[in-house]
Structure 1
Amino acid sequence: MTGQFFISLLNPAIGLLFAVTFFLMWLNRREAYIAYAASAYVATALAFLIQDMAPVLPMELQRLPANLCFLLTGALFAAAIIKRYGLPVPWREMMVAMSVSLAVFLWFLLGQPSIAARIYAISVGAGAIALMVVRALWPIEKPHLIDRVLFWVAVLAAINLTVRPIAILTLGGGFDNYDGFQQSVYWTTVQFSQAMVSVAAAISLMVAIAIDMVAELRLQAAGDTLSGLLNRRGFEAEAGAALRRCAAEEAPAALLIADFDHFKAINDTYGHAVGDAIITAFGTHVRAVGPAEMIAGRIGGEEFAILVPGASIEAGRQLAETIRSGLLAACADRIPAALRPSTCIGISVGTPGATLSQLMQQADQALYDAKRTGRDCVRTFTPTVIRIASA
């Protein structure tokens, strides 16, 4: 066995190793983009195995499935990255690029044989697919370093697939036969550059998957599954951090505390499933009408807290009235027609430096006033003025 034989096994081994790794990840998460990644590495392993080790067929037809697998590798990995961001995968455009690339490849395989032209045909097709990833990721927000890394891996792949073949073939010339091709500097650069890009792409996507898993675990730890809002621990953590930012910026913050009217009676009369439906509808309603900077959580059985950084008393009251008045419509298709749920909301507005505990105590007092004076209403905390009688 020669050193070239072991080099030929490099990319198939890397491909199969990463295919198994992504498959195991998919078994745990069942996300389509992870399955695409696993399939991409199966395709790249097959491509190199066929290219380097498959028996020679008449008219070198074994090159067709090898290069089809190369193109499938690019398409499947592009789909994995794009799908990870929830973007539509351009399957039609990728199929067009693959079809054109293979048609040109076949012409230069069967009609007018040229190894160099076949290299260009496949490289340009795969490079076009890599550029589709660049185009898809270019306009979106990239909140983590790994998002930027994935973007630049796609850029690197596009450059590797388009610029490298042109540069090396221009400087080194073409090939008369596949024996010269297999021993050429060009094919050696393909094997090593593809190995490096494959490793970089796989590691980057694995880190992205790990970040997604951590974010999901954090959401599960801080979230309330019934309402879709934060739970008490999650709310207190995020609201406390938001108030500290408000203090640093000398900005106010409005806190709303909402509580359903006669909720125990609703559960006793209609059952807990109806009570749960009201909680779910309320969470959906709050997310729909609240501003982007809002922090909302379910802090008790039927009690909710909503913090709006930077909001004035007027903005807080307007949001509270929108939430209160829209509750019945939000619940309409989820509960019995005879049931008319309502809520009371207490509001407090803190000046810079106010703590979450202080705001919650004040909003609780306003909520108590709302319940005491008729329910289905909004009340704002008003500090008690202590008058000192003159002597």
Structure 2
Amino acid sequence: MTSQFVIAMLNPTIGMLFASAFFLLWTNQRGQNYILMIALSYVASSVGFLIQDVGPSFANKFERIPANVCFLVTGYLLIGGALKRYGLRIPHVLMAGIVAAGAAWQVWFVLVQPDLTARVFMVNFLLGCISLIGAVKLHPVEKRHSVDRLLFWVMVLCTLNFFLRPASIMLLAGGFTDFGSFQQSFYWTTVQFTQVMISVLFALTLMVAIALDLIAELRREANTDKLSGVLNRRGFERDAVAALGACGERRQSACLMIADLDHFKAINDAHGHAVGDRAISLFGQHLAASLQPGMIAGRIGGEEFAVLVPEAEFGAARRFAEALRADFPQKCAGRLPPSLSPSVSIGLCLAGPGVELYDLMHKADEALYHAKRLGRDQVQVFTPRESGTAATKQALAGS
């Protein structure tokens, strides 16, 4: 086994190892198709290097056409997968057009007007364009983690590599007269090793990004109430405490509302727990769809929900609560038994800077029970004179 063969097998071997790793990640996250795109990109890269360096030679070096098309497809899938990970639209038409143009130019420079140097510049230029598209689209995206910033700079590095490497090396070493001299050139040796480094850097960065996504998803599941779709009590308290702390630092107020489905025990008794669960689910969906940016909502008890509105103007929070209450029956129309007319009572409390969450929840709870005492299906605002007793709350339990 010659050293040249070992070098030739370096990129295909590494590519297939990473392709296998990404396929395994995808089988455990079937909903994340961007991982499949990345896996396929490494397959395409391996196939391209195998065709070019290991496979049999054909007349006029015809094998160079599919090999270089594989490299262009690699860029398409890899950059496209990275963009999809951030929820960005993949410019399929533009990138497919680049691949098609590359294929056409390959045919021209291989079969019509053979020119190895022009073909090298053309392939690198098009790969640089694909990387540049990714970098431009990723630049304005919020980069929450270091790996997000690293991925952006890896794309920038790839762009510079494809644009500058051919010109700088060929200026020093000259062009190529035939494919034999190309295979033995300093340029191709540089390509072999720099491509390995870029492939490894891209793969490791994306793997860390996928791992962070998985951890975030597990955290969301741990802090989300499955029935209602909003945060559970633990998740709500965690996010609400952080938001109140931020409001305190900025000396801004916040509003907290606690909503409770009316006559919930009677719903369970008359219609069964499945209908009760359905009512909770419908209110959770209604609440989640009504939330405005910055609001934090969670299910904090059986049929009880809380919503924190940071940096709130009280009138706007009151209008939000009224709309939430008034629109709920309409959202349930046709989705609950006809004899059931669901309603919700809401207690609202304004918090100044520095107020603790549990104190705020207690005051909003007092306002909620005041709404219950006044007949339910209404919004009441906490005032200091309200002081619902334990006996009153017990009497209204399940209401």
Q: TM-score, normalised by structure 2?
A: 0.92
Deviation, structure 1 residue 242: 1.5
Local SS of the residue matching 1:379: strand
**Per-residue CA distance 1:276-323 (angstroms, 9 max, x = gap):** 333233223223333211111001111001111122433332221111
**Per-residue CA distance 1:243-288 (angstroms, 9 max, x = gap):** 2222222222211000001112223333333333332332232233
**Per-residue CA distance 1:125-157 (angstroms, 9 max, x = gap):** 222222221232133222222122111211211
Cα distance, 1:333–1:190 mapped onto 2, change above 3 Å: farther
Deviation, structure 1 residue 100: 0.8
> C-alpha separation between the residues in 2 aligned to 1:318 and 1:385?
22
Query: How many equivalent residue pairs?
Result: 386
> C-alpha separation between the residues in 1 aligned to 2:155 and 2:185?
26
Q: 2:328 corresponds to which residue?
A: 327
Conserved in 2, the CA contact under 8 Å of 1:40 and 1:72?
Answer: yes
Correspondence 1:215-230 to 2 at 5 A: 215-230=216-231
Deviation, structure 1 residue 33: 0.7
Instruction: Show structure 2 runs of 5+ residues with no match.
Output: 388-399
Q: 2:182 corresponds to which residue?
A: 181
Q: 1:389 corresponds to which residue?
A: none
Deviation, structure 1 residue 364: 1.0
AA partner of residue 242 (structure 1): A
> C-alpha separation between the residues in 2 aligned to 1:330 and 1:86?
29
Correspondence 1:111-150 to 2 at 5 A: 111-150=112-151
Local SS of the residue matching 1:250: coil
Q: 1:101 corresponds to which residue?
A: 102
- How big is the alpha-carbon RMSD for the aligned residues of Structure 1 and Structure 2? 1.7
Conserved in 2, the CA contact under 8 Å of 1:312 and 1:349?
Answer: no
Conserved in 2, the CA contact under 8 Å of 1:36 and 1:76?
Answer: yes
Conserved in 1, the CA contact under 8 Å of 2:261 and 2:303?
Answer: yes
Q: 2:6 corresponds to which residue?
A: 6
Q: 1:199 corresponds to which residue?
A: 200
**Per-residue CA distance 1:168-209 (angstroms, 9 max, x = gap):** 223322111111101101101111111111111101110110
> C-alpha separation between the residues in 1 aligned to 2:338 and 2:166?
70
> C-alpha separation between the residues in 2 aligned to 1:365 and 1:179?
85
> C-alpha separation between the residues in 2 aligned to 1:276 and 1:157?
53
Deviation, structure 1 residue 385: 9.2
AA partner of residue 200 (structure 1): L
AA partner of residue 24 (structure 1): L
Conserved in 2, the CA contact under 8 Å of 1:15 and 1:41?
Answer: yes
Local SS of the residue matching 1:267: helix
Local SS of the residue matching 2:28: helix
> C-alpha separation between the residues in 1 aligned to 2:36 and 2:359?
50
AA partner of residue 321 (structure 1): E
AA partner of residue 23 (structure 1): F
Q: 1:368 corresponds to which residue?
A: 369
Local SS of the residue matching 1:335: coil
AA partner of residue 91 (structure 1): H
> C-alpha separation between the residues in 2 aligned to 1:260 and 1:9?
66
Conserved in 2, the CA contact under 8 Å of 1:101 and 1:124?
Answer: no
Cα distance, 1:334–1:167 mapped onto 2, change above 3 Å: farther
Correspondence 1:228-307 to 2 at 5 A: 228-307=229-308
